[in-house]
């Protein structure tokens, strides 16, 4: 059986109650609303019939006064005069003007053959069946307007049918009077299809069928006070019933909620401290330096178990190389500044050395009294080892350089020895950069990421060292320019793709040069790195680099041309100062290292710089073999 908490059960009961209450109230509410709507329709139809009766009586008044009691029009229609239109117009124009001020829109006269004699306004197509001997009325639609039209037959003394008179009223005026009677706004529409009451916010009333078999509908907004009162009453009643039931459920759930929240807080704190114990190097001591708490992560790097450390003095981790004054300074800063931060060299259970970067701060009780100290630590042993490796590598390279100087031939140019020394300084500076990156990243990520990052940087440092060592090897091996360029293109593939650089190599690059492969590769890579650095400061979006050989190259020398279209805000004098400098001001730049390697091989390096592009020229010896 699946367990359901009281909170879930009461929530489901509340939901069922709310749904049942809503449907019940909605049923009775709709019943009352429908009743109110029917009453509204009856009221509208009643008022409509009243307004229509007023128009009908007004039409009867006009008909009786002008065409029954007054025999002038009857005499004109009986008389076979050839100009009935003129006579009727002169006889009735004044009367029409008077009645038009009272709402009459148009009067038309037809003879006994149902032919139009005269109309005071625009002519309309009137169905012949309405022009009969019987009184009739209709709603005539013409040019998007509707007219209430009364058809009145005229008879002589012998009851002979002599013609028909139509009295027309604008339906818009009819609607205005209806609106005034009811205090509602109406619109009307004509449709040959039946209009369904698809929108409950409006009332639709079919009034009449017009002359073209279309239906005339009256439409008004459902702004009924009775409906509004019904809606308001049921909403308030539903709200109050829901509120009461909700309050009851709330009180019941509150009892269970307290226990659930307490259990959740305890569980969250337990999970938090478990993760912190597993991943954070933490050590707590009392005021005497005795260990009160140590995390599992710290136990891993020290080799001790928790029971071997807790209760012992923190001096158990002290390395013999660290003096007493060092720890005295720590205690002094903690007392004066309430915090200490720095690097400490410690010793693990097996006598191995490890380094930590530590932040130590006081612990307080509820009375804000210092009861001990807490330290958060970071393992920086890998960084220290890497720094040691770098120092040993520099010493090894320096020793080899000194040995190389001693074994050189007597006729070696002194300038080349000076260039080698500068190369050592330049490469040493370049090695510091990945080490600095590792040192920064170690502050942010856990031990696994540190190991991966150190492996990557050591691999990069190893490759750089191998390339650097090859600089000092004298070899007569052939160096193919095209092969070197393809190797550089592969080595810088990520940077080229990331910056969307188009690298174009000409077909004449398949030549051999009198230079070490690694030295030529370093020259091209360092010039490419300089171009990438310029690209970071540029607004260029489509960058292309073209490498070719000048056609005027001699048989002994080759001039390599490297051209880019990287735009600059202005022409920088940086290269000019670099190439002409005689001191070591630019020893840590990539382009300076490329210049030194070119000069080491008795070559020349120059450039042409503009706002829109930069061209680098490298002059080297051909392979004479």
Strand extents, DSSP E, 425-465: none
Is the pLDDT at 134 greater than 80? The verdict is yes
Is the pLDDT at 65 greater than 70? The verdict is yes
What is the torsional sign of CA 472, 473, 477, 483? Answer: negative
Mean pLDDT of all residues in 423-443 = 59
CATH 3.30.565.10 fits 475-625, yes or no: yes
According to DSSP, the β-strands at 543-549 and 501-505 are parallel
State how far Cα 15 lies from the chain centre: 36
Q: Beta-carbon neighbour count of residue 330 at 10 Å? A: 16
Comparison of pLDDT for 182 and 474, the residue scoring more = 182
Q: How far apart are CA 505 and CA 482, in angstroms?
A: 8
Q: What is the pLDDT of residues 208-234, one digit of tens each?
A: 776 567 777 777 766 655 566 666 777
State how far Cα 23 lies from the chain centre: 41
pLDDT recorded at residue 410: 43
**521 phi and psi angles, rounded to 5 deg:** -65, -40
- The lowest-confidence range among 81-90, 107-116, 218-227, 300-309 is 218-227
pLDDT recorded at residue 183: 75
> Quick one: which of 109, 164, 105, 112 has its CA closest to 140?
105
Q: What is the pLDDT of residues 467-489, one digit of tens each?
A: 555 555 555 557 888 888 888 88
Comparison of pLDDT for 408 and 1, the residue scoring more = 408
- Contacts of residues 50-54 at CB distance under 8 Å and 24 or more positions apart, as own/partner, are 50/181, 51/174, 51/177, 51/178, 51/181, 52/148, 52/174, 54/177
Is the pLDDT at 495 greater than 70? The verdict is yes
pLDDT recorded at residue 492: 84
Q: How far apart are CA 40 and CA 228, in angstroms?
A: 13
Q: How far apart are CA 550 and CA 615, in angstroms?
A: 12
For residue 222, what are the contacts with CB-CB under 8 A and spacing of at least 6? 37, 40, 200, 201, 202, 203
Is the pLDDT at 44 greater than 70? The verdict is yes
> Which SS3 state, helix, strand or coil, does residue 284 take?
strand
Q: How far apart are CA 229 and CA 224, in angstroms?
A: 9
pLDDT recorded at residue 264: 79
The β-bridge partners of 248 are: none
Q: What is the pLDDT of residues 294-308, one digit of tens each?
A: 988 889 888 899 888
pLDDT recorded at residue 506: 86
Is the pLDDT at 458 greater than 70? The verdict is no
Cβ–Cβ < 8 Å for 160, 200 = no
Comparison of pLDDT for 491 and 291, the residue scoring more = 291
Most confident range (mean pLDDT) of 6-20, 231-245, 375-389, 538-552 is 375-389
**202 phi and psi angles, rounded to 5 deg:** -130, 155
According to DSSP, the β-strands at 281-286 and 501-505 are unpaired
pLDDT recorded at residue 426: 64
Angle at 404 between CA 558 and CA 584, to 5 degrees: 65
Q: What is the pLDDT of residues 166-175, one digit of tens each?
A: 899 988 888 8
pLDDT recorded at residue 417: 44
Q: What is the pLDDT of residues 533-592, one digit of tens each?
A: 888 777 777 888 888 888 656 678 889 999 988 877 665 555 566 656 655 555 557 788
pLDDT recorded at residue 625: 63
What does the longest C-alpha to C-alpha distance in the chain come to?
156
pLDDT recorded at residue 596: 86
Is the pLDDT at 411 greater than 70? The verdict is no
Under the banding of pLDDT at 50, 70 and 90, the label for residue 414 is very low
CATH 1.10.4080.10 fits 10-226, yes or no: no
Strand extents, DSSP E, 517-622: 543-549, 557-564, 604-609, 614-621
Cβ–Cβ < 8 Å for 528, 546 = no
Comparison of pLDDT for 60 and 584, the residue scoring more = 60
Comparison of pLDDT for 71 and 446, the residue scoring more = 71
CATH level 3 topology of 281-379: Beta-Lactamase (3.30.450)
Is the pLDDT at 445 greater than 70? The verdict is no
- The lowest-confidence range among 35-39, 286-290, 307-311, 582-586 is 582-586
pLDDT recorded at residue 175: 84
Is the pLDDT at 1 greater than 50? The verdict is no
> pTM of the predicted model, to two decimals?
0.36
Comparison of pLDDT for 138 and 463, the residue scoring more = 138
Under the banding of pLDDT at 50, 70 and 90, the label for residue 444 is low
pLDDT recorded at residue 464: 60
């Amino acid at each position: 059986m699946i367990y359901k908490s009281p909170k879930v059960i009461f929530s489901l009961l509340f939901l069922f109650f709310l749904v049942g209450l809503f449907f019940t109230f909605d049923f009775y509410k709709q019943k009352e609303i429908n009743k109110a709507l029917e009453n509204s329709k009856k009221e509208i139809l009643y008022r409509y019939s009243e307004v229509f009766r007023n128009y009908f009586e007004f039409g009867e008044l006009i008909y009786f006064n002008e065409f029954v009691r007054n025999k002038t029009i009857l005499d004109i229609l009986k008389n076979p005069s050839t100009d009935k239109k003129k006579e009727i117009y002169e006889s009735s124009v004044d009367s029409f003007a008077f009645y038009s001020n009272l709402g009459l829109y148009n009067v038309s006269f037809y003879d006994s053959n149902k032919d139009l004699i005269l109309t005071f306004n625009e002519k309309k197509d009137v169905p012949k069946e309405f022009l009969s001997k019987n009184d009739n009325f209709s709603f005539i639609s013409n040019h998007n307007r509707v007219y209430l039209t009364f058809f009145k037959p005229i008879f002589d003394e012998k009851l002979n049918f002599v013609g028909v008179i139509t009295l027309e009223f604008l339906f818009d005026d009819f609607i205005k009077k209806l609106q005034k009677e009811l205090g509602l706004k109406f619109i009307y529409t004509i449709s040959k299809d039946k209009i369904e009451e698809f929108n409950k916010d409006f009332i639709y009333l079919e009034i009449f069928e017009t002359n073209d078999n279309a239906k005339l509908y009256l439409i008004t907004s459902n702004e009924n006070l009775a409906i509004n009162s019904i809606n308001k009453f049921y909403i308030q009643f539903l709200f109050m019933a829901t509120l009461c039931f909700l309050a009851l459920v709330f009180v019941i759930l509150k009892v269970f909620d307290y226990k659930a929240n307490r259990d959740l807080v305890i569980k969250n704190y337990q999970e938090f401290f478990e993760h912190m114990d597993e991943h954070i190097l933490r050590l707590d001591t009392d005021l005497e330096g005795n260990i009160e708490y140590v995390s599992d992560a710290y136990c891993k790097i020290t080799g001790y178990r928790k029971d071997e450390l807790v209760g012992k003095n923190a001096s158990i981790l002290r390395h013999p190389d660290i003096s007493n004054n060092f720890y005295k300074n720590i205690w002094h800063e903690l007392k004066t500044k309430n915090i200490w931060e720095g690097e400490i060299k410690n010793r693990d259970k097996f006598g191995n050395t490890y380094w930590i970067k530590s932040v130590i701060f006081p612990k307080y009780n509820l009375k804000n009294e210092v009861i001990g100290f807490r330290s958060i630590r970071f393992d920086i042993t890998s960084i220290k080892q890497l720094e040691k490796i770098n120092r040993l590598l520099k010493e090894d390279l320096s020793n080899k350089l000194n040995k190389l100087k001693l074994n050189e031939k007597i006729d070696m140019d002194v300038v080349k020895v000076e260039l080698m020394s500068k190369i050592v300084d330049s490469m040493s500076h370049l090695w510091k950069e990945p080490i600095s990156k590792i040192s920064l990243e170690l502050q942010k990520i856990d031990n696994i990421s540190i190991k991966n990052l150190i492996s990557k940087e050591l691999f990069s440092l190893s490759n750089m060292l191998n390339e650097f060592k090859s600089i000092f090897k004298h070899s007569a091996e052939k160096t193919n320019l095209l092969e070197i360029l393809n190797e550089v293109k592969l080595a810088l593939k990520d940077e080229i793709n990331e910056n969307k650089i188009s690298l174009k190599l000409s077909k004449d690059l398949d030549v051999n040069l009198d230079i070490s492969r690694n030295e030529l590769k370093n020259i091209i890579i360092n010039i490419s790195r300089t171009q990438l650095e310029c690209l970071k400061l540029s607004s260029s979006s489509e960058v292309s680099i073209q490498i070719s050989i000048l056609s005027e190259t001699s048989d002994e020398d080759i001039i390599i041309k490297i051209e880019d279209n990287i735009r600059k805000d202005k022409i920088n004098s940086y290269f000019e100062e670099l190439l002409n400098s005689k001191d070591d001001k630019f020893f840590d730049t990539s382009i300076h290292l490329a210049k030194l390697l070119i000069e080491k091989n008795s070559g020349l390096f120059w450039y042409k710089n503009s706002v829109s592009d930069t061209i680098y020229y490298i002059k080297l010896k051909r392979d004479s073999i």
